[in-house]
């Protein structure tokens, strides 16, 4: 090949993208240092969308957001947040988390509601909602919802779009009183593509009542919410029939803590714990012919906290775990083997494969909040190169 033909190939975006799509992530991240040309191609929305579609994306832990349930759906006669307490506190576990905590714009976004692929949904129920993009560090305020609801369940969905960057949906589901269960759920959905709220009614074969102000889980556009009576409500946003299904949770004991997560192969996982131990389950869906899908819970493992600490004596002695209660905290993003647990104000990771416990180092207000009234939620960001050259392409 002549020098001219090589130059022509490398200057063609389509050919360059096709070549780069064949390289593994560790090689891609090194190429951004070669030239501005490669940096701009790799950081562009089109290539990022194509690459993440082909290759499994990786995520890293930025920190833990603290969500005080006393202020959710706050009425005039309920508890008010003191000015000395931050609305969006973060227990940072990284340098990026330190920068994020010091970033002034987050202080104006209200409370943490949810996150998806690193994009944050914040706001003050039930009127003001903001979407914040960590790549551009720009926020977008959603128009005011049309329907007023005293108690809500939320869901946040993002997806990569070629050329357009990130698009998203915000779902507000009305929670009925548990004593007045119905077979319908009213939802309001905001789409960044239409920039408007739309109202829908989801139908269910059985009476249900969503649990207000609980954290659900979205997997491939399917929303999983907690419901009364120890159930999970499942809503597929891609289903044009607007149905919601009810699946009984598998817990075999009266739990103290529970969490929802996503396995590495895209299934819903459920964990629950008591003072003595925890159980981890996976929900699998099977379809027989043209019949309705059948959901089946399969247990992954049971764990005794006492045995866990006995196998990790160094940490058990260092943190005096015999006198402190151990609890399940949350799942690690798209991880089938590890979970976050806590003992007192200390956070750890437990790996079921190696049966080892490791401490998670964090900076933050460990002594300024009461764990009993707060939900501590891990915040993960997708690992991807960023560049100011592409800010005009990657926007919300």
Domain of 366, CATH number, reads: 2.130.10
Angstrom CA distances, 132 to 137, 152, 218, stand at 7, 21, 18
Calculate helix-pair angle for 13-20, 45-54, nearest 10 degrees.
30
Averaged pLDDT in 10-residue chunks for the chain of 396 residues: 63 83 84 81 82 81 87 63 78 90 80 93 89 86 90 92 82 80 92 95 93 92 94 93 93 82 94 94 78 86 96 93 90 94 94 96 71 89 69 44
Asked if the structure places residue 257 within a domain, the reply is yes
Assess if residue 166 is contained within a domain.
yes
- Strand, coil or helix: what is 30? helix
Task: Using DSSP bridges, classify how beta strands 165-174 and 152-161 pair: parallel, antiparallel or unpaired.
Answer: antiparallel
Alpha helix (H) ranges present in the chain? 3-10, 13-20, 25-31, 36-43, 45-54, 95-102, 305-311, 313-318
- 379 in a domain, yes or no? yes
Q: How far apart are CA 151 and CA 69, in angstroms?
A: 12
Q: Which domain holds residue 120?
A: 32-390
As given in the structure block, the two tokens for residue 38 are: 């490669």
pLDDT for res 269: 96
Query: Using CA atoms, how far apart are residues 313 and 107, in angstroms rounded to an integer?
Result: 41
Residue 190 backbone zone (phi > 0: left; psi -120 to 50: alpha; other: beta) = beta
| pLDDT for residue 205 | 92
Token pair 């080892």 is at which residue?
Answer: 356
Peptide bond into 126 cis (omega under 30): yes
What pairing do the DSSP bridges indicate for beta strands 182-191 and 165-174? antiparallel
Residue 134: which residues within 8 A CB-CB, separation 6 or more?
100, 118, 119, 120, 381
The vertex-378 CA angle with 373 and 384, nearest 5°, equals: 155
The tally of domains found in the chain comes to 1
């Amino acid at each position: 090949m002549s020098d001219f033909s090589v130059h022509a190939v490398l200057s063609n975006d389509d050919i360059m993208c096709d070549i780069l799509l064949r390289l593994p992530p560790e090689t891609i991240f090194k190429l951004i240092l070669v030239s501005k040309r490669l940096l701009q191609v790799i950081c562009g929305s089109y290539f990022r969308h194509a690459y993440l579609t082909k290759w499994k994306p990786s995520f890293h832990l930025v920190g833990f957001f603290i969500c005080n349930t006393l202020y959710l759906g706050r009425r005039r006669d309920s508890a008010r947040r003191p000015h000395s307490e931050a609305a969006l506190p973060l227990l940072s576990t990284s340098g990026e988390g330190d920068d994020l905590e010091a970033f002034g714009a987050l202080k104006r976004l209200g409370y943490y509601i949810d996150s998806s692929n690193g994009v944050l949904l914040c706001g003050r129920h039930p009127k003001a909602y903001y979407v914040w993009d960590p790549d551009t560090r720009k926020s977008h305020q959603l128009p005011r919802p049309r329907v007023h609801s005293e108690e809500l369940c939320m869901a946040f969905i993002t997806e990569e779009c070629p050329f357009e960057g990130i698009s998203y949906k915000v779902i507000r589901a009305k929670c009925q009183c548990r004593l007045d269960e119905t077979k319908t759920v009213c939802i309001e959905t905001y789409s960044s593509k239409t920039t408007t709220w739309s109202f829908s009614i989801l139908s269910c074969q059985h009476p249900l009542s969503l649990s207000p102000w609980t954290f659900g889980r979205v997997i491939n556009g399917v929303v999983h919410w907690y419901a009364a009576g120890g159930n999970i409500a499942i809503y597929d946003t891609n289903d044009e029939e607007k149905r919601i299904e009810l699946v009984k949770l598998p817990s075999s004991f009266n739990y103290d803590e529970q969490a929802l997560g996503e396995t590495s192969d895209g299934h819903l996982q459920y964990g629950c714990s008591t003072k003595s131990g925890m159980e981890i389950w996976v929900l699998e869906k099977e379809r027989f012919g043209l019949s309705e899908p059948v959901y089946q819970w399969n247990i992954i493992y049971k764990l005794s906290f006492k045995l866990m600490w006995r196998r990790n004596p160094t940490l058990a002695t260092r943190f005096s775990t015999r006198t402190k209660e151990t609890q399940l905290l949350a799942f690690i993003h798209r991880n089938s083997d590890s979970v976050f647990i806590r003992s007192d104000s200390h956070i750890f990771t437990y790996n079921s494969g190696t049966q080892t416990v490791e401490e998670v180092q964090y900076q933050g207000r460990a002594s300024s909040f009461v764990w009993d009234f707060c939900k501590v939620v891990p915040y993960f960001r997708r690992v991807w190169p960023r560049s100011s050259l592409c800010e005009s392409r990657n926007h919300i």
